[in-house]
Structure 1
Amino acid sequence: MQLLQKFKRGSSKPKGHSNYAYTTARVRAMKSKILPKETYPRLMNMGIDEITRFIEESEYKEDVDELARQYEGVDLIEHALNRNLAVTFTKLINISEGEVNYLIAEKLKKYDIWNIKTILRGKYCDASTEDILEAIVAAGSLSYTLFSELAAKSDYEEVISELSNTEYYPILKNYDGTNLSEIENQLDKMYYAGLFEATRGSRSKDRKLFASFTRLGIDIKNLTTLFRLKKAGITDPDMMDLMIEGGLKLKLKDIERLMPLSFEDFISELAKYPYWEDISEVVSPDMQSLIDVESRLKKHRLKSAASFSHVYPLSIVPIMGYMLSKQNEVNNLRIIIRGKAANLNEEVIREQLVI
């Protein structure tokens, strides 16, 4: 765990030469190790012991070996997956320079925010330190050691006090123990504002691509939130506060028009937007679950990243695409191992996979 215990910092400002050719070459080598989609049907036919052996003998072997003295069984795999993700993304920071290093570091701040949310939720639900640590991915600028210490704190006040010297404190200091969803929403908005700030005032092709990639992510996030609200029968205009500004093809004015609609009318209107083609087969007024819709939207983002990577092979896009693919691999493995451990129906597990 020594690597994870270090503070992992990218450049606060782009300095020096941007080594895109070198970084993208290394990323291509890393991406070649991503599990092919044919692997997942095989895993679905395995028992939990076989899946565990597969993970232990794969690219995650070093992580499993490192953590085997502390954990066992499914918990060991859970921690190994998170550790591997953190080590992998830290490697991207270490091999990159200049602008590419800066943009990767800004992107990885999502994990700082994810971890802070996880700890606050854990304190809110009175979860154990171990339960909280299972979900920590120390891939941002804050260390695993810090998050371990925060997870062990007795209450949220101590957690927030320890974060007083971070950029997140101006938002966190307003948490009163009851307004968690509001704080989480503000942290998300802060994150995306930071991504846009990273591209402001530059004519760099890579910054423009980075901005487009970010805007697509905002569309997917806003559309997912809209589906959840509509499925719950919520049409309150005040819910606009949950939406992130800056989408690529789904602007706030579009969302404002969609917000008051019933679920059936909302679906009808979506046919006018470019994302409809990817989700139309699984959307209907009487649909029982949103799992298929959310999976299709995630697939669309992965597919878009792959397409852009072919057009701009020596740019930030292949790096961002790899990060998405790696995160997706870890999510899929986690879904399978946890689903099998909980004796879930195979069809239920399969529906949640993004392949």
Structure 2
Amino acid sequence: MARASGRSNVYNAAARAKARKASLIDPTRMRQLVQQGPESIGASIGEMGYRSEMDLYASRMSGADAIEAALFHNLDNDLAGVLRFCQGNLKSLVAIYVERFDYEKAKTVLRAVNGGASDEIIETQILPSENPRNTSWLNIVRNTEGLHEAVDSMSGTPWGQTLSKLEGEPSLEDMENALDLQYFSDALKSVKGRNGGPRLLRYLRMEIDHRNVINQLRAIRMEITTEKRQSMVIPGGKIDSGTMRQACQSESDEELIESLRRSGSFDDSGFDEAMADSRRLGSLDPYAELLSHQRHAVLKRFSHLSPVSPFPIIYYIEQKSLEVRNLRLLVRGKAVGLSNEVLEAHMDY
């Protein structure tokens, strides 16, 4: 997370981010997309700001594959554009948030290599070569065999340095946990050292808590040992370490949530309903959606309370990323025949 030099242009950048946010697909139009058939939805998405990327992939891909590739390409372009119009310390603060997408691509590469995906599959479907921001990642894939070589090829990057410190023969899960730990550690240090403001620090700590909660819920289902679960906890959240140690010993969702409620920093609103829905659906989605709504509400409030700050820019980035996730869910769901009711229930507006 290199620090940018020069003066911040907060007024201009915040105004540009708000203008971009105004062009995002609103809930009404998103619901209209849900009602469309799979044969027409691609054309509609293209008209909503994704046409140039969709045209780029149309020559060799079709259907949901082409749309998904275009969505991620568009998001990459958008993130780069936002960073370009930010300057000085503002750019450094926004870059802290944007860098998480690079960490996610590092995970994507590791999963692809670990899963034995061929170079052709990775280049044509997972990290399409048409996207220039995939070039460095594709070079890693083409020149490595197995996780160990992939890690060596990432040397010189923040994620490569993190992975090189792991001892023994770490699993893919160990690597992903290490990347999460490193990202949030670096982000917290950067915010504290760059006058990022208490609200940005508060938001990052909230994200850490949410990541820890989801990880513990998943660990319960996977029957991971207490010791392993404790090693997965990302430090720096608002929930105190003692509460998290107790949470790591929980054997059910009820026990976990009851443990977390002992912390005054845990917002348990909506968890009883999410627990019931999770049990009924056999999925963690209700928890993930609840926590996502909580984060979006906080970001929205902070962007209004601090209109001349990094928050309008970060809020826009999060909303843009959410739009891409919703559209991806929509096109993939339509492709496999999910009902409109199921799709709308899983989309986050």
Distance in 2 separating the partners of 1:344 and 1:128: 29
- The superposition leaves residues 275-314 of structure 1 with CA deviations (integer Å, 9 ceiling, x where unpaired) of 3113332223944322111111111111110011111111
Displacement of 1:65 after TM fit? 2.0
- The superposition leaves residues 56-92 of structure 1 with CA deviations (integer Å, 9 ceiling, x where unpaired) of 2111112112332342222111111001100111011
Which has the higher mean CA deviation after the structures are superposed, 323-332 or 170-179? 170-179
Q: Which letter maps to 2:180? A: D
Kept in 2, the 8 Å contact 1:124–1:177? The answer is no
Kept in 1, the 8 Å contact 2:162–2:179? The answer is yes
Distance in 2 separating the partners of 1:41 and 1:135: 28
Displacement of 1:169 after TM fit? 2.5
Q: Which letter maps to 1:190? A: Q
- SS of the aligned residue for 2:6 comes to coil
Taking the TM superposition and a 5 Å limit, the aligned residue runs for 1:49-198 are 49-129=39-119, 131-133=121-123, 134-136=125-127, 143-156=133-146, 157-173=148-164, 174=166, 179-198=171-190
Displacement of 1:271 after TM fit? 4.8
Kept in 2, the 8 Å contact 1:245–1:251? The answer is no
Kept in 2, the 8 Å contact 1:118–1:132? The answer is no
In structure 1, the residue matched to 2:333 is 339
| Unaligned stretches of 5+ residues in structure 1 | 1-10
Q: Measured at CA, do residues 66 and 338 of structure 1 come closer, stay the same or move farther in structure 2, by a change above 3 Å?
A: same
- SS of the aligned residue for 1:225 comes to helix
Q: Which letter maps to 1:116? A: A
What's the TM-score once normalised by structure 2's chain length? 0.88
Taking the TM superposition and a 5 Å limit, the aligned residue runs for 1:41-52 are 41-52=31-42
| Unaligned stretches of 5+ residues in structure 2 | none
Kept in 2, the 8 Å contact 1:267–1:283? The answer is no
Which has the higher mean CA deviation after the structures are superposed, 44-53 or 222-231? 222-231
- SS of the aligned residue for 2:49 comes to coil
Displacement of 1:101 after TM fit? 0.6
Kept in 2, the 8 Å contact 1:237–1:256? The answer is no
Displacement of 1:336 after TM fit? 0.8
- The superposition leaves residues 97-131 of structure 1 with CA deviations (integer Å, 9 ceiling, x where unpaired) of 01111112222221221111111111111123354
Number of residue pairs aligned between Structure 1 and Structure 2: 339
Question: By percentage of residues, which structure has more helix?
Answer: 2
Q: Measured at CA, do residues 18 and 113 of structure 1 come closer, stay the same or move farther in structure 2, by a change above 3 Å?
A: same
State yes or no: 1:35 paired with 2:25. yes
Displacement of 1:159 after TM fit? 2.9
Which has the higher mean CA deviation after the structures are superposed, 219-228 or 84-93? 219-228
Displacement of 1:347 after TM fit? 3.8
Distance in 2 separating the partners of 1:290 and 1:301: 17
Distance in 2 separating the partners of 1:339 and 1:92: 30
Which has the higher mean CA deviation after the structures are superposed, 101-110 or 62-71? 62-71
Which has the higher mean CA deviation after the structures are superposed, 228-237 or 326-335? 228-237
Residue 256 (structure 1) aligned to one of 237, 245, 270: 245
Displacement of 1:227 after TM fit? 1.8
Distance in 1 separating the partners of 2:307 and 2:5: 22
Kept in 1, the 8 Å contact 2:38–2:334? The answer is yes
Which has the higher mean CA deviation after the structures are superposed, 225-234 or 336-345? 225-234
Taking the TM superposition and a 5 Å limit, the aligned residue runs for 1:199-238 are 199-202=191-194, 204=195, 206-234=196-224, 236-238=226-228
Displacement of 1:172 after TM fit? 2.9
Distance in 2 separating the partners of 1:207 and 1:168: 26
Kept in 1, the 8 Å contact 2:163–2:178? The answer is no
User: What is the alpha-carbon root mean square deviation over aligned residues?
Assistant: 2.5
Greater relative contact order (CA < 8 Å, ≥ 6 in sequence)? 2
State yes or no: 1:352 paired with 2:349. no
Taking the TM superposition and a 5 Å limit, the aligned residue runs for 1:10-21 are 12-21=2-11
Distance in 2 separating the partners of 1:137 and 1:352: 27
Q: Which letter maps to 1:59? A: G
Kept in 2, the 8 Å contact 1:86–1:137? The answer is no
Q: Which letter maps to 1:193? A: S
Displacement of 1:176 after TM fit? 7.1
Runs of 4 or more consecutive aligned structure 1 residues displaced over 6 Å after TM superposition: none
Q: Which letter maps to 2:305? A: V
- The superposition leaves residues 12-33 of structure 1 with CA deviations (integer Å, 9 ceiling, x where unpaired) of 1241101110100000000001
- The superposition leaves residues 160-195 of structure 1 with CA deviations (integer Å, 9 ceiling, x where unpaired) of 333222233233334877611111111111111111
